[in-house]
Amino acid sequence: MQELQEDVPALGVDRVGDPTVPAELPAVGERRRERVQPSPRVRGEPAGDDEVDPAPHPLGVELGQAPVSARPLLEPGVHRTHQHPVAQAHRTDVERRREQGVRHRRTITGTAGPAHPRQNARAARKATYGDIVRRHDLVVIGSGSGNMVLSDEFSELDVAIVEATEFGGTCLNRGCIPTKMFAYTAEVADTVVDSATYDVGAQLDGIAWPALRDRVFGRLDPIAADGRKGREDSDFVTVYAGEARFTGPRTLVVDLHEGGSAEIEAERIVIAAGARPVVPPPIEQSGLPFHTSDTVLRIDALPRRLAVLGGGYIAAELAHVFHSAGSEIVMIDMADQLLGPQDESVSEAFTAIARDRYELHLGREVTELKGAPGALQLVLDDDTTVAADTLLVVVGRAPNGDSLDVDAAGLETHDDGRVAVDAAGRTSVPGVWALGDVSSPVQLKHVANREAEVVTHNLLHPDDLRETDHGLVPAAVFTSPQIGTVGRTEAQCRDEGLDYEVAQVDFADVAYGWAMEDETGFCKVLAERGTGRILGAHIMGPEAPTLIQPLAMAMTFDIDAAALSGRPYWIHPALTEVIDNALRQLSTTAGAKPGGAFGR
């Protein structure tokens, strides 16, 4: 990869022998100085010789072999100094604006208005750009994990962020964080209901839904607002409130929320636009109301009977929340088991538990939604009709690349719509990067955050690229019972023809499991026969998302089952003994010696 970097010149620098680029094309720093000091060019006005962009350098067939066509946004060793030409040009423009008493960054919403005071007594201007082209050194699309990219290391550059909804993205506003806050409340309610199991007299009077909703979002909404305000108050960031779409390789139009549009271009663009819920055509075309995971947690009142269309982890978590809050639940899914991608032991056990709690229609599709608001009727492909007052659609999520018109930029995509990237986060268009659900094969927040860290580093240090490895990503389902997983499932081990052993220990077989009176939890570990190399681990039961982490670490650092069990002390009688006991079984059956050395 290093050789490819040396073969491809930096973005904006003359490529010797390339007939598409004038030999006199100035270097990046010179171009930026020219762009900062004059007023923005009007759309349609011919560009001067110093504004000619080089043609995109094509990638190879394999994304992993994509060339790097990017110079560091700031040269190593001169971050936040006045020495770099880009920083110097930017600082000159900043100082000129400050001397004029005008704040040099704006929130672009679409409506021109009077200046409003800031804490430092400067004014921020709002503007409708209309036919003006605004240039930036770096533009980030999306303020979820994309917001992590804008570290202080970019403070000497002209940076922009575009957000179509709330600051903080899906995780903060309608995904990971609020759902877990609701799920914890559901867990507390379940504990009260089951209190007699522990000889405690208690009665659940119910969950005060409006109060719960207001408590959760009363904490999270201000965080989102503060995140936006922090960027608005930044001296180096412009906030565009609207929906972005590509018009060329590194040019965008933002349809602003309050009307109008802004045309912008940048030397680097990072796509972090996330994903959205998928709605099947029979539901979308029915004209009847339904909810998705984006909306259901903000409803005013609990459903009496909630139909949940879907059987994945989001469906399982939200079904748990509403069931514990008092709603009757009916789940409909095309698969024969809930949580189908999980290990077979987990999906079978969880489906059996769910069948005792909910009405299940598995292996079925919805062919029609009819009825009236509050009295919905879902017609299934076996002619069964399911009645519900509220419908929640959670059948999957689609990456938002199509809404960005990525084809107009020449960006390659996968069949499922994900923007194609290599392990470093580079797309097929030089200077354009992508991260998170819009491009990642693993739609999880901790994956998106890691990708944001990698892309940030690579933007600043293209000669020292880091890569993201999706090979061992732990995941969790915060339902009841909780689930934690990492590595291969047993079905994958069979399909790959691996020689493996399985150990499974129930929570009821360890002392803390007795204290919990747990009857359904278990820990399952798969290891390679003869070496004890851990191939996968799957836990269902209380605290499974926490319990899975030591197994994920062992797999990451190639610690075999015998070493993980025999070297560290395992606290007695902690719940972690369920892991230790499974590992000890593997130390015998897989052939590795207990107490072996870490690593290989």
* 218-243 confidence digits (pLDDT tens): 999 999 999 999 999 999 999 999 99
Whole-number Å distance between alpha carbons of 594 and 395 = 45
Listed in sequence order, the DSSP H helices in 100-253 are 169-173, 176-193, 209-232
Q: Give me the pLDDT at residue 465, please.
A: 97
- Pairwise CA distance, residues 232 & 124, whole Å: 9
Say which residues have a Cβ less than 8 Å from residue 435's Cβ, sequence separation at least 6.
145, 146, 149, 270, 271, 272, 421, 425, 448, 451, 452, 454, 455
Q: What is the pTM of this model?
A: 0.80
Both tokens assigned to 41: 């060019």
Q: How many CB atoms sit inside 10 A of residue 112's CB? A: 12
- 79: phi then psi, degrees, rounded to nearest 5: -60, 140
Q: Which segments in the chain show pLDDT lower than 50?
A: 1-71, 74-105, 111-130, 594-600
Q: What are phi and psi of 337, to 5 degrees?
A: -130, 145
pLDDT digits (tens, 9 = 90+) for 92-145: 443 443 344 333 445 666 543 333 333 332 233 334 444 578 999 999 999 999
Q: Which two tokens stand for residue 465?
A: 């690229």
Place of tokens 């319990």: 547
Dihedral sign computed on CA atoms, order 400, 153, 87, 11: negative
d(CA 52, CA 54): 7
Catalytic residue among 82, 414, 470, 572: 572
Contact 179, 318 (CB under 8 A): yes
Tell me the residue type at 96. Answer: R
Query: DSSP letter string over 530-575?
Result: TT--EEEEEEESTTHHHHHHHHHHHHHTT--HHHHHHSS---TTST
Q: Please give the single-letter amino acid code of residue 367.
A: T
- 572 catalytic per annotation: yes
